[in-house]
Structure 1
Amino acid sequence: MTEPPATGVPEDAAALHIEARRLANAGDLTGAENLLNRARQCAASMDDLGRIEGTLAYIEVERGQVSEGLARCEAALERVGRGTMAHALLAGQLGTIQFVRGETVPAITLFTRALEVLTGEERSNILLNRGAAYMSVAAYEKARRDFEEGARGPNVIAAAQNAHNLGYLHLLRGQLVAALRWMDRARPELAGLGLSVTATLDIDRSEVLDAAGLRGEAVALLRDVAARLRGSGLWRLQADVDLHLARQLGNEEALEAAERAVRLNRQHGNAVDADEARAVVLLARCRSTRPPTAHSLERLADRLEQAGRRHTAAALRMRAAGLRGTSPRLPGEEEPLTVRLLAGEVAAEVALRAGDTDAALSAASAAIDELDRWQRGIGSLELQSVSRRLGARVIRLGQQAALLSGDAQHLLTWSERARELVARVPATRPPEELADLLADLRRLGPDGDPAERLQLVTQIRQGRWLAAAELPADAPVTVQAVRERSAGARAGRYVTLMEIEGRLIALTLGDREDILDLGAWGEMDQLLGGLSADLTMAAQLAAPVVRAALQERIEGLDKILARALQGAGSLTITAPAVMARMPWGQLPSTVGVPVTVPTSASAWLRQTDAGPIRSVGVVVGPGTRTGSAEADLVRQGWHTVTVGERCDDAQTLASDVDLLHVSAHGQDREAHPLFASLQLADGDLFGHDVELFGRVPPVVILSACGAAGGSLGMARAWLHAGARSVVAAPADIAETAALDRFGQLHGLLARGSSPAEAVANAFGGEALDCAVQCYGAG
């Protein structure tokens, strides 16, 4: 939350005061103090003197001289009459000091007294502070009214600060997209202000990033703020950064940061925020092998509740209930999403310890329903995907309870709950203005100025975050629906794989129905560790030793998975994200078997039967050894084919054809998957570009290195945009080896094979150097 700065050129007492506040906001407390002492000498009115004394008091508090600051403010307040401008200004400043000390209720009283007199910019500033105080005690409606009035004020800076805090209020209410919009709207007016303001903006933005699930970026931003604050003397902001780091890191470093926040707040007389930081320490220890006592949690909760910090107090009481073996109270609608998820987590843990799987499933389901409702307002594929982290612990508990129940329907439901948090597709398109930013990024190219490239990437990602959408409400996936869909294929089998409590678990439905424990997850994890590198080496080097190493790894994977896969006439497989680069079609157990890899069973069931392929397009990028030859082979298979080479050609063809084949070099972007790209004649075609297409073909074939891109690469972008099936490789491919196989693929498709059938026959167990898979509906 922000505090009011000011700017100006020093000329008289008022101008000196304005410049002093600018220096204070920039972190130059000594310079500000010098100017204020000069201003005291030439103050011409009690109003000017009240402003000067109030700011001097605030500087003393920022330096840790809390008693001196309070005494100065109180003494000045006694010298002026109530109802005067000077009294109102000093009451507002004294309220600010008390709020900083954690004394929220008396601070609100003083802010209210000041607002009886203040108008204009100074009223907006006090509305900002009172709204922040209301927000800290969860009086959200009162805070909203203050911020909205302040945002309509005459001063641009004060209005922007109130708008920023409106964004923070939306964040606390779980309205992530609205939070981003308000904060982004306010930032241009505030970004040029001093360190104390910009640091606060970034601390608040880190909370938005963390709420979205982008914890790594949130932590990186906080570390940057901490570096900027080092040596500034702004202890309150330094403590705030440490508190946020403690909440977001979740390791030993988090505990160290929390203890620093405890010390800083205690040293400067802020017992309430010291207790907030202490709560982070105790809540983290609740998940350790040496948790705190329930009594210690309840004592701290009592103190925080008395100070108005009821959300933190509620979290502590929930954990205390769990330690006592009782279910926590049900949280109210006004509680933050994190508190509501914690209630489900604790209740599920208590039920599992008591052996009550039904109660555990019910508690976990109610918590994930909360996350699901929150997620429906997000149109960004990236934010949907990473937001799964928020419910990861509850998902694990739900899956554990489902496995213990021995019920296939429960296990399928919890497999889907995990996948649908990241795979559900919103009925929305990104903002159109992103097309211009993507064009700029394309013109800049991979070798362009790194700073400019980073700025464009950031603008595109954040613009995409703001695309709100109403997500479809799917009916729960049933075992019977999966069974019936599998029966439509030859001896079809649906297999979903999960890691539950350190074990690899498979649920099989269709021609064979079973719950299988395939062994310790660690063995699978070890084999997956070098898989991507082995696939890449096999594509780049034809040496027998390289192929043998990959073959040995694949046989090891197959040995683990064989019981779930063997004997099926066709396979539909969903698996954890860490298995996204699996070459399913190259496993000994699946040779010659059509394999489909959908994002989820829900997405697979939503797809209707494929229609006939009547029109085909090819886009060939520059620098490929076999691109032209591939285009010729496609022509041989289909006779009438339209060929292009530019990004515009890709968009035009995508809107017209039933099948689009792209032969180009591909670039994966693990950190930001929708920046996975295909290199065409006029630059990169990004995953973000694909989402802007008005229509995409039912079938897309990507002859490109690494185009599947793990769980969020180019294949995912095409599927997200509406493609029914995407044929792509999860790693590099050997272009020459792939050439004939793509020719076979098109011949099979032209004769009526489904994409999954065509891939099984054209790319089988021998295609280790071009392990193409079928993603989507098959």
Structure 2
Amino acid sequence: MQIIDASEDPAALSFAHQAAAIVHRDAGRSEESVRHGFAALRLARGVSPLRQADVMATLGVVLAYAGRTSDGLRQLDAAKGLTQAPDLPRLLLRRAHVLALVGREREARDDLAQAIIGSRALGDRLWEARALNNRVVVSIALGLVDDADEDARLAEQLFDSLGQEFEATEVLHNRAAIAMLRGDLPRALELFDRAADRYAALDRSNPGLDLDRVEALLTAGLYDEAETVAREGLSRLDLAPVKRAELMLAQARAALATGKATLAGERASEAARLFTDQLRDAWVDRARLLELRAGFVSGHPETAPWQLTGGEAAPSEPEPPRDVELLADARALITSMRHTALTELPIALVLHGRVAQHLGRDEEASASLSEAAALRRAGPPLTRAAGWLAAALLADRAGDRRSLYAACRHGLDAVDEHRAILGDLELRALASGHGIEFAQLALASAVRSGRARDLWWWAERWRASALNAAYTRPDDPVLRIEVAALRDVTRRIDSLAEDDPTGSTLHTERTRLEASIRRAHRRLRAEGTEGFGRPAGLDIGRVVDELGDGVLVTLINDRGSLHLVLVCQRRVRHLEIGSVAAAAQEADFARFALRRAASGRLVNLASTAARLESALLGGHATTLRRLIGDPDRPVIVVPPAGLLTAPWGLLPLFAESPLSVSPSVTQWLKARRSGRDRRSEHVSLITGPGLSTRESEVTNLSPIHHGALVLPAERATVSAALEILDGAALAHIAAHGTFRAEAPLFSSLQLADGPLTVHDLEELRRPPRSIILSACDSGGAAPIGPHEALGLVSALLGMGTSDVLASVVPVNDHATLGVMAQVHAVAGRGGTLSEGWLAARKGAMGDDLHAATAASFTSWGA
């Protein structure tokens, strides 16, 4: 600016205004950028044709970033006629950048190939690297993964050798996008985090990083976080119009994924208008597709399009004219997308097919779904899954159950392939959302067929599958330090007075540490993924053999209706129960009643138990009692995720039965195998601080287990607890628990030096074979969709613990003493936790407080 204010030299002024245009462009100040660009051009005309050509090239990019892409391309084309051969590579790079912005990637790639050759011939290593990095972006857009990877490697080497830290960071950012294209989500998340840290260290921002992180977060199922990133990006005042449009579309995608269809439609429509003004046809198509999907979900929330799990409340019978309009718009969009060659075409075809189906246009629906289905064998896993969904919908329309099942199996295999490399338990659970619609289609068909074995098989194919992979334990010293720091910060927060001014700082630090720990886990790659990508499904014969004289009760959620599959005496039967919502409501009421009982309130447990049994078993208790026969048979209950923490021990039907609850049959089999394979001997007894019964619980249990390793409250630090938990045959932790539904893997048990979380338990080389968590709320689980739930218990089972006894509501500390004495009396004789829990329930009969306390626990696992 000093030159602009003081100089009268046209050449110097043209350079100064050109530089100012670039600076303002990169800062998102479009009006100032354009003003300086035209000022530079006016001055350059009086200097030389070469100076004019260079400024016109810069102005072309400036105009494109301001949304005036047509004007920008005209400037660049005009500049080419004035540019001499040595300067042509730089001009071609700039024009390629603008061509890529408007979706003309193949033309951009041709320009970049010439720019790379020309720069290399001139020995211009900096502009060669820039051209290579730009070709990385274009190759990513065209799906040319290997080409993009090779160019990124070369560009990074050149930028590093030249000391160009910012541009080397841009290459790192593009490498993350390449990992996304390969379907390597953990690697992508790691590289995005590294790029974000390097941009911050350089005090530079990059809106493109926000866009790509939103894409990664959406793929990971982290929809709320994706929407937050997009919203924060849009709040920047210096955002260039081209990036504002892209971020607006990203926010629309995130909003649609979280069920905010109206907001998604509004944002997508606004983005489409901006893209139209910018002459970016491919991006217009992307925005229009999202707008149409949002419109369809608003009118048909029960049949959300691909990768959606729900929608906003809307009339179940939308006005036919709206669907007719949607059909015409979808038809026009598909025609345009064929021209722009977008990879989202299968999703548009599925949408068009569904709209046509709702309008009774069967031939048109079949044609679109068939075209989408033809694309099911190519591309990354989630793109292939979209094609398999089309094939499943076609088979469903035709009533071809065999083909429907085959398409659903292949679709779930594709989603499993996407999920197979994820080492983080939370990400695996979230990724299950991509397969929900396949599971729903197959379950609905199995219900219609009346075949109990088919229904059972499909219920298990996608249930709690996040827990079925080998558990990945991080080996990261920095992560250990952060987990310890989080424990210290949480302990300090818990000890603060309400008006302590340091509270705000500590809460901010806790949030930062939790976010950092989550990011570290998201970068984990699964161990032993060979074979996990394509699970064989439920081996019914093996389960029946393993069950022996036992009884298996599987409850299944079919689009809000509850079904029961009973496996007993080698026979499989199906019973219709009723409403899932009614069952969940009664489970909530029962937990509330148990909380009241724990605080000494008068509660009618018999009435509560009868109502809960009716809701969960649909009035079939008498039939089930007759079918089961011997009431002493061991029973395994496998409920849907939303009913996992119902107080199953209250049900009169199971009053005489050793009862276990499991997230899935596969998990039950895994837990039984784990229990048989483990050769553990020692018993660990641990007391946490703040119990009203102090050390009484463990003191009473010690005589039952001679030689047990005991940690009193004052010595029960996390490190000491982990030391004696490792390899234990039986562990008992008497400590207050905190369940966090919004962050279930940060649920914790309170020990002397702070909370023991799942992230601490990951340090165990051999988790306890059996574990009892005897205090408040330790058995909580947060449902993630209809098929997954996470919490302390599910994490322990995933790590390899065979069985866990924990409470689903806060319990009375004094009454718990008697319950635990009964459980350990059985366990001390070599019995299982489910047998000990049965003894406790029987021993509490006639005493409402003790009966409520016993029923507040659940035995999970084998």
TM-score by length of 1: 0.90
1:277 is matched with: 287
Please tell me whether residue 771 in structure 1 is matched to residue 849 in structure 2.
no
Select which of 409, 416, 425 maps to 2:469: 425
Q: Distance in 1 between matches of 2:33 and 2:147?
A: 33
Q: Offset of 1:694 from its aligned partner?
A: 1.2
SS of equivalent residue, structure 2 residue 462: helix
Q: Distance in 1 between matches of 2:48 and 2:725?
A: 72
Please tell me whether residue 224 in structure 1 is matched to residue 229 in structure 2.
no
SS of equivalent residue, structure 1 residue 254: helix
SS of equivalent residue, structure 2 residue 476: coil
Higher mean C-alpha displacement, 510-519 vs 50-59? 50-59
Q: Offset of 1:499 from its aligned partner?
A: 1.1
TM-score by length of 2: 0.82
Q: Offset of 1:653 from its aligned partner?
A: 0.8
Q: Distance in 2 between matches of 1:496 and 1:121?
A: 64
Higher mean C-alpha displacement, 684-693 vs 198-207? 198-207
Report matched runs for 1:684-695 at 5 Å: 684-695=755-766
Q: Over residues 316-353 of structure 1, what are the superposed CA-to-partner deviations in whole Å (9 max), with x where a residue is unaligned?
A: 23444564235443335542333322222222222222
2:498 is matched with: none
Select which of 375, 379, 400 maps to 2:423: 379
Select which of 481, 486, 489 maps to 1:436: 481
2:198 is matched with: 189
Q: Distance in 2 between matches of 1:535 and 1:44?
A: 86
Q: Offset of 1:519 from its aligned partner?
A: 1.7
Q: Over residues 628-649 of structure 1, what are the superposed CA-to-partner deviations in whole Å (9 max), with x where a residue is unaligned?
A: 0011111122132211211112
Q: Distance in 2 between matches of 1:492 and 1:587?
A: 17
Higher mean C-alpha displacement, 382-391 vs 29-38? 29-38
Report matched runs for 1:178-217 at 5 Å: 178-191=187-200, 197-217=205-225
1:544 is matched with: 602
Select which of 133, 156, 171 maps to 2:180: 171
Select which of 127, 145, 149 maps to 1:140: 145
Q: Distance in 2 between matches of 1:131 and 1:462?
A: 26
Change (3 A) 1:336 1:528: farther
Change (3 A) 1:629 1:417: same
SS of equivalent residue, structure 2 residue 852: coil
- Give the letter aligned to residue 583 of structure 2: M
How many residue pairs get aligned? The number is 759
Please tell me whether residue 116 in structure 1 is matched to residue 117 in structure 2.
yes
Q: Distance in 2 between matches of 1:59 and 1:194?
A: 22
Select which of 483, 502, 524 maps to 1:467: 524
Q: Over residues 97-147 of structure 1, what are the superposed CA-to-partner deviations in whole Å (9 max), with x where a residue is unaligned?
A: 222222223222222222222333333333232222222232333323322
Higher mean C-alpha displacement, 362-371 vs 272-281? 272-281
Q: Are the counterparts in 2 of residues 527 and 557 from structure 1 also a CA contact under 8 Å?
A: yes
Higher mean C-alpha displacement, 378-387 vs 417-426? 417-426
Please tell me whether residue 302 in structure 1 is matched to residue 335 in structure 2.
yes
1:264 is matched with: 274
Q: Distance in 2 between matches of 1:320 and 1:352?
A: 16
Q: Distance in 2 between matches of 1:90 and 1:685?
A: 59
Q: Over residues 594-616 of structure 1, what are the superposed CA-to-partner deviations in whole Å (9 max), with x where a residue is unaligned?
A: 11112321122232354787421
Please tell me whether residue 405 in structure 1 is matched to residue 454 in structure 2.
no
2:580 is matched with: 521
Q: Are the counterparts in 2 of residues 755 and 774 from structure 1 also a CA contact under 8 Å?
A: no
Q: Distance in 1 between matches of 2:644 and 2:54?
A: 62
Q: Distance in 2 between matches of 1:371 and 1:544?
A: 50
Higher mean C-alpha displacement, 641-650 vs 247-256? 247-256
SS of equivalent residue, structure 2 residue 118: coil
Q: Are the counterparts in 2 of residues 431 and 467 from structure 1 also a CA contact under 8 Å?
A: no
Q: Distance in 2 between matches of 1:526 and 1:583?
A: 12
SS of equivalent residue, structure 1 residue 204: helix
Select which of 737, 740, 746 maps to 1:669: 740
Q: Are the counterparts in 2 of residues 431 and 463 from structure 1 also a CA contact under 8 Å?
A: no
- Give the letter aligned to residue 581 of structure 2: G
Question: Which structure 2 segments of 5+ residues have no match?
Answer: 1-5, 301-317, 357-364, 494-502, 782-788
SS of equivalent residue, structure 1 residue 692: coil
- Give the letter aligned to residue 661 of structure 1: H
Q: Are the counterparts in 1 of residues 22 and 62 from structure 2 also a CA contact under 8 Å?
A: no
2:754 is matched with: 683
2:775 is matched with: 704
Select which of 230, 250, 255 maps to 1:249: 255
Report matched runs for 1:54-133 at 5 Å: 54-81=57-84, 83-85=85-87, 87-118=88-119, 119-133=124-138
Change (3 A) 1:545 1:369: same
Q: Distance in 1 between matches of 2:16 and 2:637?
A: 70
Please tell me whether residue 313 in structure 1 is matched to residue 345 in structure 2.
yes
Q: Offset of 1:417 from its aligned partner?
A: 1.6
Q: Are the counterparts in 2 of residues 432 and 692 from structure 1 also a CA contact under 8 Å?
A: no
Question: Which structure 1 segments of 5+ residues have no match?
Answer: 1-9
Q: Offset of 1:405 from its aligned partner?
A: 2.9
Q: Distance in 2 between matches of 1:192 and 1:14?
A: 29
Change (3 A) 1:44 1:596: farther
1:3 is matched with: none
Q: Distance in 2 between matches of 1:427 and 1:523?
A: 35
Q: Offset of 1:203 from its aligned partner?
A: 1.8
Q: Distance in 2 between matches of 1:492 and 1:441?
A: 44
Higher mean C-alpha displacement, 120-129 vs 634-643? 120-129
Q: Offset of 1:726 from its aligned partner?
A: 0.8
Q: Offset of 1:396 from its aligned partner?
A: 0.7
Q: Offset of 1:397 from its aligned partner?
A: 0.7
SS of equivalent residue, structure 1 residue 662: strand
2:409 is matched with: 365
SS of equivalent residue, structure 2 residue 264: helix
Q: Are the counterparts in 2 of residues 674 and 713 from structure 1 also a CA contact under 8 Å?
A: yes
Q: Are the counterparts in 2 of residues 744 and 762 from structure 1 also a CA contact under 8 Å?
A: yes
Please tell me whether residue 749 in structure 1 is matched to residue 827 in structure 2.
yes
Q: Are the counterparts in 2 of residues 302 and 313 from structure 1 also a CA contact under 8 Å?
A: no
Q: Offset of 1:78 from its aligned partner?
A: 2.0
Q: Over residues 222-251 of structure 1, what are the superposed CA-to-partner deviations in whole Å (9 max), with x where a residue is unaligned?
A: 2222223xx546222222122223333331
2:387 is matched with: 343
1:325 is matched with: 366
Q: Offset of 1:561 from its aligned partner?
A: 6.5
Q: Are the counterparts in 2 of residues 662 and 702 from structure 1 also a CA contact under 8 Å?
A: yes
Q: Distance in 2 between matches of 1:532 and 1:223?
A: 38
Q: Are the counterparts in 2 of residues 659 and 700 from structure 1 also a CA contact under 8 Å?
A: yes
Select which of 498, 502, 506 maps to 2:560: 502
- Give the letter aligned to residue 341 of structure 2: G
- Give the letter aligned to residue 547 of structure 2: S
Q: Distance in 2 between matches of 1:494 and 1:559?
A: 14
Q: Offset of 1:46 from its aligned partner?
A: 7.8
Q: Are the counterparts in 1 of residues 587 and 647 from structure 2 also a CA contact under 8 Å?
A: no
Please tell me whether residue 622 in structure 1 is matched to residue 706 in structure 2.
no
